[in-house]
Structure 1
């Protein structure tokens, strides 16, 4: 179970986040604060795993708040002002959610933290993946038939106009979905969009050759798009030995 608090000077923003947190079984909301100084008092007396933190607040800014807690908790910034994103990441926040926050984007941020940097579970039944499935079903060409596709079996996903082609276990399954649908459904720690037409399974990468990413069990390399290159290299950072 991941404990969390909300710090935001606007009650309606807190209400939205509280509703989202209730939908994720692996999150436990300890408290919500419109006054960041009161939140600091709690953090000085109690361990909190994750903060949902607004940036622009009257008593103390979210960025100053992060400096004050000195890395004691993970932080997801929530704000309506995108110009602060650079400052936030320089302070090593986990993610940045731009208001109004859609639930799929909120879920993706939480999932990324719980899977890549798992917080020590409080019981045997609590795991970083608690509350998240590891498969989905898609409609097939046969009427009434739904096919189960496990995340671990997916090699890559290819955009094909109004469809996507899911390449898994040597098979190619067509589904009437969009790349955006799948980006929001797949765990960001395990899958990465590297081109407007391709999403790949990170653990299937075997080599990187210039602008081409090679995958296990896939004969042809996947093109790395320039737009997606920075995110890809950031994902690979720490995996490359100098």
Structure 2
């Protein structure tokens, strides 16, 4: 796994370099005291994992994270425990409270590795409609791979690093972002109506001002997505 460290404290960067050097599957590609330089590297080189300090001048780690459209895996580091909840709301892998020992660092890294491998496996099994199986996708969930017809998908809910596909007869949880799901589904049938929800236009039973109903499930319509959803419904 390629990784970088962003922290305005030289000593903290030295510790991260020492710890990453002890783990064979980590490849530290850069250390940055300037978060802007770190952000530029992320955009251009797309590392798999970031060790990101929260409290930095000019641009905090949380602010940096919010600017990234498709952030990689992130492990936050900080001396202030009050930031933990905010960090988890941004779907980070783990939160390291300074000063941390190698054992705690290793635990966070192993969690990141597990998510990284799961994401790779999921992407390997994904099949876009029209390439090999028309209107079929493959979803990796645990030790199983499901072959799913897109017509059977009612809606999709994003939950941090995971998404849940709700089908007629079951639900499937897999590791990917809500944006990745949107990219692989046929856009003429599926529409994102909320930051956490994608719905099948075919399966909507009721449309109200602030929500839609699918099989008695209430799904909110986000203000940001309202106009696009209205256009999609008119096309249908």
Q: TM-score, normalised by structure 1?
A: 0.49
Structure 1 contact 4–28 (Cα < 8 Å) conserved:
yes
Q: Quote the offset at 1:120 in angstroms.
A: 4.1
Structure 1 window deviating more from structure 2 (75-84 vs 107-116): it is 107-116
- 2:41 matched residue in structure 1: 42
**Contact 1:6–1:52 at 8 Å: present in 2 too?**
yes
Deviation at 1:106? Answer: 0.5
Structure 1 runs of 4+ aligned residues shifted over 3 Å read: none
Aligned counterpart, 2:89? 90
User: Unpaired runs of 5+ in structure 1?
Assistant: 122-202, 204-236
Report Cα offsets for 1:48-99 as digits up to 9, x if no partner.
1000000000020110010112233111000000000111011111100000
Question: Which structure dedicates a bigger proportion of its chain to helix?
Answer: 2
Aligned residues of 1:8 and 1:33 also touching (Cα < 8 A): yes
- Separation in 2, partners of 1:55, 1:115: 24
The equivalent of 1:6 in structure 2 is 5
Aligned equivalents of 1:70, 1:11: Cα separation in 2? 28
Aligned to 2:76, the other structure's residue is in SS state strand
Residue in 2 that maps onto 1:73: 72
For 1:25-40, list aligned pairs within 5 A.
Answer: 25-40=24-39
Q: SS at 2:2's partner residue? A: strand
CA contact (8 A) 1:48 1:73 kept: yes
Say if 1:35 and 1:59, in contact at 8 Å, map to a contact too: no
Q: Secondary structure at the match of 2:77?
A: strand
Structure 2 gap ranges (5+): 122-142, 144-162, 165-169, 173-236
* Residue of structure 1 in register with 2:222 after alignment: none
2:52 aligns with 53
Distance in 2, matches of 1:30 and 1:120, equals 20
**Matched residues in 2 for 1:102 and 1:59: separation?**
28
TM-superposed deviation, 1:241: 5.2
Two-structure CA RMSD over aligned residues (Å): 2.8
In 2: Cα distance, 1:97 partner to 1:43 partner: 21
Alpha-carbon distance in 2 for matches of 1:33, 1:117? 23
Alpha-carbon displacement from aligned partner over 1:125-161 (angstroms, at most 9, x marks no partner): xxxxxxxxxxxxxxxxxxxxxxxxxxxxxxxxxxxxx
Conserved 8 A contact 1:21-1:28: yes
Kindly indicate whether the alpha-carbon contact (under 8 Å) linking 2:65 and 2:71 is maintained by their aligned counterparts in 1.
Answer: no
Q: What TM-score, normalized to structure 2?
A: 0.50
Moved more, 13-22 or 64-73: 64-73
Tell me: higher relative CO, structure 1 or 2? Use CA pairs within 8 A at least 6 residues apart: 1
- The total of aligned residue pairs comes to 130
Deviations, residues 10-67 of structure 1 (Å, cap 9, x unaligned)? 0000111100000000000000000000111112211110000000000201100101
Q: Is the 8 A contact 1:4 1:27 kept in 2?
A: yes
Deviation at 1:115, TM superposition (A): 1.8
5 Å-filtered alignment, 1:1-242, equals: 2-118=1-117, 120=120
Give the whole-Å Cα distance in 2 for the aligned partners of 1:116 and 1:8. Answer: 23
The separation in 2 between residues aligned to 1:72 and 1:64, in whole angstroms, is 12
- Partners of 2:107 and 2:96 in 1: CA distance: 10
